[in-house]
Amino acid sequence: MFSAERDFRSRTLIKQQIRARKMLARYGHSQSVRLCQLRICDLAGKKGQLEDGFDKDALALIEMLSVQRSMPTSLKELSIDGSDLQRMGLPEGPAYKKVLQGLLKIVVSDPLQNDPQRLEKHALRAVKAL
């Protein structure tokens, strides 16, 4: 997870935003920040000093985590839920979780997709693929 963070600032803004949202989706805000801080301390302890630029990259990631915190990064933040899938004709069961997790991946990559009509289209495609 952190090996690529050494070049975080060299990524495009969109890639930085997506990386931060993926981390938020996986760990949440507090845990993500703590992991970044732990990585900084770990490197400092191992090498006696921080690698050039790494502290700036980690701090940039922490800042981006705070900026992206308001974006949808959890299932409960999706604009559709299981009742919408049921209304669309998907039978209840484990497929709900699979479809909703797929929708979350789409939304984490592009928050503008978190629109009921757009997500219903994505969900219908996902249901057909099951």
pTM of the model: 0.83
pLDDT in tens, the chain (130 residues): 555 456 888 999 999 999 999 999 999 999 999 999 988 888 788 877 766 666 788 889 999 999 999 999 999 999 999 999 999 888 788 888 999 999 999 999 999 999 999 999 999 998 888 7
What are the structural domain ranges in the chain? 3-68, 75-129
Model confidence over 34-68: pLDDT tens digits?
999 988 888 788 877 766 666 788 889 999 999 99
Supply the DSSP string of 50-98, one letter for each residue: PPTTHHHHHHHHHHHHHHHTTS--SGGGSS--HHHHHHTTPPSSHHHHH
- Look at residue 130 and give its three-state secondary structure: coil
